[in-house]
Amino acid sequence: MLSLHEYIALKERLIQGEINTDEAKSRLWENFKDGKRAWHTKDWKERRRKFLKDKCEICDSKETLTVQHLSHPKKFIEYTKEITRSLTKEFIHINSEIDKAQLEEHVKNNYTYEPIQLCPNCLNRKPNIRTRKSPKFLCTKCEHEFNEPSYLSVEELISIFYRNPDAIEVRDKCFTSKDKWHNQHNLNNIKYWHQRSLVQKSQLEYIEKKALLLYLVDTIKYLSFEDAITACKICASRYDLHQMDLCPECKKHYKGIKYDTCISCLPESRKNEVLEKLSFNKEMMDIHRNFGID
């Protein structure tokens, strides 16, 4: 794990173009794998000692004080997803149409089609399937009985979609992606993911660099205790510490955002009630453990 200084230096070098995104990423990940946690570094221990107040900022206890972060860096992949999502939104806004032939080709290459069964007489959707009677199908609308249902071809379906993207015929998720995810999509989903992959391919470098910078900014904020408070072990296990803010009454203690004031500013009668409600937030503790620091 890199030290705070090294994170800051890496970020600067990336901004100045002294290293490219791939180099910065490999610097980060190789050091991440070495198993050395931030809290083992001398640098961390020193800053932690300076940061810690002499009492819990939630309850004033002086027992076993720890650094509690009110926000955490996300996984790198989450930043790339967010950026890609918002770039795709812009792209669609400017450039909403894709060529029909191109979409058709994309669908045929990347999806298997499981058509919806139709009545051959009236084209009503989804006839009843009878297991014991023959003929096998019964149309609930025109009462036609038949063995061979009709289908719309991919081309017909796409034509309908281009005339009216909200048409009832094109809403079903009757396409399965051929990749390992086997996603169930309708034409609207397919169009979106196709546009998104166009954006991703054409702006890959930009997306990766921006994501890495955001990741570094949040990690630096985290490692420098910018958005952190001193809390005792009891408060740390009781609260969801990602949702704390300063008490507006005393401006001294922290409180859960769903409460109006901190515990010491509450009337005596409500104190116990609130203390009972506060429950251990496992997810938060897991995040700490995964990151290896608290």
Interacting residues with Zn ion (CB under 5 A): 56, 58-59, 61, 69, 119, 121-122, 124, 139, 141-142, 144, 232, 235, 247, 249-250, 253, 261-262, 265
> In terms of CB distance, is 67 or 103 closer to Zn ion?
67
- Least separation in angstroms between CB 294 and Zn ion: 7
Q: How far apart are CA 94 and CA 51, in angstroms?
A: 48
Q: How far apart are CA 128 and CA 146, in angstroms?
A: 10
Q: Which amino acid is it at 162?
A: Y
Q: Which stretch of DSSP H or E encloses residue 113?
A: strand 111-113
CB 256 within 8 A of CB 239: yes
- Least separation in angstroms between CB 72 and Zn ion: 5
> In terms of CB distance, is 177 or 237 closer to Zn ion?
237
- Least separation in angstroms between CB 65 and Zn ion: 8
In whole angstroms, how far apart are CA 126 and each of 14, 129, 134?
A: 57, 9, 17
- Least separation in angstroms between CB 279 and Zn ion: 15
- Least separation in angstroms between CB 81 and Zn ion: 22
Listed in sequence order, the DSSP H helices in 95-203 are: 100-110, 154-163, 187-202
Q: How far apart are CA 262 and CA 68, in angstroms?
A: 17
> In terms of CB distance, is 59 or 207 closer to Zn ion?
59
> In terms of CB distance, is 22 or 245 closer to Zn ion?
245
Helix 100-110 and helix 187-202: axis angle, to 10°? 100
> In terms of CB distance, is 121 or 200 closer to Zn ion?
121
Residues 6+ apart with CB under 8 A from 124: 118, 139, 140, 141, 142
> In terms of CB distance, is 183 or 261 closer to Zn ion?
261
- Least separation in angstroms between CB 231 and Zn ion: 6
